[in-house]
Structure 1
């Protein structure tokens, strides 16, 4: 063997050994990652299932409003934006202003993904998206047995 061949074999051996060491290191890293992945997934699942009890308590507030002017509609909408349910009594307003307020609140509630329901002749319930409403209130028209004048 010539000096040139010895020199090549010396460096080829070092490259081969370093290549094998790199492969072994990669295999060990892969094993460690596989062992850690289930722990990370479990930890992530636990974090997704955590619910703060204080947030539930704060979300249960309901606001009662009896506007006397159309300008108060924005204040009612702000309550819904703050994720509060609002009962709106429109008895103090004329029919035209009541319709304008209901239209404004309907648009606001729709944009926020909430719901608006009629509770009585001039009473409405506006709820944000996280509040579910079950049941309905039927209206009685032209029934003399329920006429309370």
Structure 2
């Protein structure tokens, strides 16, 4: 009884603990408060290129008129294998010079695979080669000197 009487007096004076306050304090301890993190809608979207988009194009140009289409494939980041063996000697030289200029302008790579066969790669593709030094030291074409 004494507790109830003293509790009432303390409550009346304002020094006692209210039951509602006790329950509220207990609830605060049980709950974890997560900080509010605003979500920004101004994020940047970055396109990540995957290897699923990689394509290799095989071409056998017979005339210089085929060269621009081959360069378009290179601009579209496609790797190209060019076989110039069936082309006329002069036409093959023109096509090769044109493609070599395009590879340079697009910061790509070109490498000989066999006599008259080359691989052209865009700047996002590395060409790894195990071709012997004898092929690397030979000229790209066996051009007759005039």
- 1:124 lines up with 2:118 in the alignment: yes
* Structure 1 Cα separation of the partners of residues 75 and 47 of structure 2: 21
**Which residue of 45, 48, 52 corresponds with 1:52?**
48
- Alpha-carbon shift at residue 108 of structure 1 (Å): 0.3
**Which residue of 88, 104, 107 corresponds with 1:113?**
107
Corresponding residue pairs, total: 97
Equivalent residue number for residue 95 of structure 1: 89
The TM-score with structure 2 as length reference comes to 0.57
Equivalent residue number for residue 71 of structure 1: 65
Q: Verify the 8 A CA contact 2:110 2:118 in the aligned structure 1.
A: yes
The RMSD of aligned alpha carbons is 2.6
Secondary structure of the equivalent of 2:87? coil
- Alpha-carbon shift at residue 52 of structure 1 (Å): 3.1
Deviations 1:22-51 (A, max 9, x none): xxxxxxxxxxxxxx9xxx9xxx8xx79x76
Equivalent residue number for residue 28 of structure 1: none
More helix by share: 1
Q: Which structure has the larger Rg over C-alpha atoms? A: 2
- Alpha-carbon shift at residue 136 of structure 1 (Å): 4.1
Secondary structure of the equivalent of 1:86? strand
The TM-score with structure 1 as length reference comes to 0.56
